Structure 1
């Protein structure tokens, strides 16, 4: 999966470096709108006349590292236990050289894989449910909730915005709207984060669409009204993580959202997608809800009569194809996976 920029154990975007020519060529200027059709890619937490709040780039894919890490750690731990049992307690055998090889070579490898699986789990579990970004239209400040729990505040007009590109083992290349915080020299990248991510299936043109959604909110005179109509009439859903953890229903919806147009694919891929949904629920359940510092909240006060307030409470009703079909796929997929594991345990591979 695409975990580019994840700061757990220093897997992050490269910083303390000069801007590249490719970044300069693909720059998005704050005052320059896009002619592409606007799309928000299910990334908005809440919106009003003062600010818009977005989820991070890893939110939509959360769950994969959890279930895959558990699978790797569990399988490797079983292997390590078998090796130790065979060496110390198995019936006497003439294959002592093979047993020594297992203890000296295979056991460290198994224990190393246990650690790798635990490392994957910790990238999602026991952290924060998401890492929000708040773009304040009135103060023209951007607040970014870092992965260590601190908050970066930087002026919107000072951000260097460009097309970010990363490598994914599934889709080869992925793209995001990358925000660079530059040094005083205007050349050196000191910090980077993603303002928008169109999922694994997104392409470079998807970022034009996201910019067409986001830029008017911060720059256009009627930007708040346009954003409100887009979210209310075209999207219909805001991410339900405002001061709370998402419920299991939304974990199902979000997990399958990228494949919503292909129900047949959701069923075929249900063993993986189903496990991903379960991993997502576990990651959300074990993580903390992020909270903005008091000074950020103080700058984000709403007018009592603001007509453009939107939160997850204003969402459309979740329908059959958004929830119940994916729920069936999850049950079928997890059941199929457990059935295969049970078959292997009873009858062997």
Structure 2
């Protein structure tokens, strides 16, 4: 996957708002959702709510589901970068005292190539390792505004709820996500927010239920039932997530049942062993991102617009609402360990093979 494709993976900015026609990045709007006729009898916030109160609800965004993958894509290129550096030094050592002109030519070409590799790999992984710990979306029911951190544009988006058009977008072959778009008079998308919940193709009705949660909050009055529909608070406001939280959030992406359910599924997908290596690799990369990234801070004017009443009965600050802990049986732990061990061994053998070939055919 190219860097440009990765950075545009979750956006259709400056492109027509078309239904049934894939855009240049392969994103397909399956249908537009009529917010006016959307029923709110089934609310599906999933496990994405950070804060909840009578003024605003703050949730994660879809970047969470690809956190660590940008760095994972960059790792092979970084390996090639270090290999090129070693060859660069070897070329200098071999040619400097023999043919100075060839040395200068090689040094110049390799320097340009190395600078480009460093820059391109930094651009690919900067949102993961040197960005924000998460990119929240905030819905203010009193001002009827929606605020969002945009990792692609490196800015904060402020939109009016009433101006948004909603659509279900197919991402890849099996995933469907919800998008809110600001469309101009020429039917071009000027701004776009990707909602945090991603469902599978067989659970496509959940996209409507997810949007119903935000419609009920922004346009309804029954905050008690809306609050009751939230299964847990992933409260990472002004703090970094713990290792336990990182593990659960990454694991959720790999379990076909847990990714679309608001509660722990009755049966666990033991096929997880086949992806144990990427699972633990992404956990490691996510932890690196959490360590090096900054906690997002809303601008002062947004915080003023989102002031919470001191006696707000629905203020989730300090409330502990979590699902039951993610517990594995001894057999499941063994399966995960074997999958991780096998994947790691293959990866190490691959690197060792490259090192052997480069040493013997240098």
**Residue 26 of structure 1: SS of its match in structure 2?**
strand
Q: What does 1:243-262 align with in structure 2 at a 5 Å threshold?
A: 243-260=238-255, 261=257, 262=268
How large is the RMSD of aligned CA atoms in angstroms?
A: 4.2
Does the CA-based 8 Å contact 1:126-1:288 persist in structure 2? yes
- Equivalent residue in structure 2 for 1:315, among 322, 329, 332: 322
| Separation (CA, whole Å) in 1 of partners of 2:3 and 2:47 | 18
* Distance in 2 of aligned mates of 1:330 and 1:296: 46
CA distance in 2, matches of 1:346, 1:25: 47
How has the CA–CA distance of structure 1 residues 57 and 3 changed in structure 2, closer, same or farther, with 3 Å as cutoff?
A: farther
Measured against aligned partners, the alpha-carbon deviations of 1:204-227 in whole angstroms (never above 9, x if no partner) come to 4331231233322222331x2222
Alignment of 1:1-349 (within 5 A): 13-22=11-20, 26-34=31-39, 37-73=42-78, 75-84=79-88, 87=91, 89=93, 116-147=120-151, 148-166=153-171, 168=172, 172=173, 174-183=175-184, 185=185, 187-198=187-198, 204-222=204-222, 224-231=223-230, 235=231, 237-260=232-255, 261=257, 262-311=268-317, 313-316=320-323, 318-321=325-328, 332=341, 336=345, 339-340=348-349, 344=353
Distance 1:55 1:39, change over 3 A: same
TM-score, length-scaled by structure 2: 0.73
Q: Is the 8 A contact 1:34 1:212 kept in 2?
A: yes
CA distance in 2, matches of 1:55, 1:3: 23
Distance 2:181 2:192 in 1: 5
Deviation at residue 331 of structure 1 after TM alignment? 7.0
TM-superposed deviation, 1:336: 4.2
5+ residue gaps in structure 2?
Answer: 22-28, 96-105, 258-267
Equivalent in the alignment of 2:262: none
Q: Give structure 1 stretches of 5+ with no counterpart.
A: 92-101
**Alignment length (residue pairs):** 329
Partners of 2:92 and 2:2 lie apart in 1 by: 42
CA shift, 1:291, in A, is: 1.0
Name the CA shift for 1:15/1:89 in 2 (closer, same or farther; >3 Å). Answer: closer
CA separation of 1:152/1:110 partners in 2, compared to 1, >3 Å: closer, same or farther?
closer
CA distance in 2 between partners of 1:293 and 1:346 (Å): 49
| TM-score normalised according to structure 1 size | 0.76
1:189: Cα distance to partner? 2.4
Q: CA deviation at 1:124?
A: 1.5
Change (3 A) 1:141 1:131: same
Q: 1:88 to 1:305 in 2, by over 3 A?
A: closer
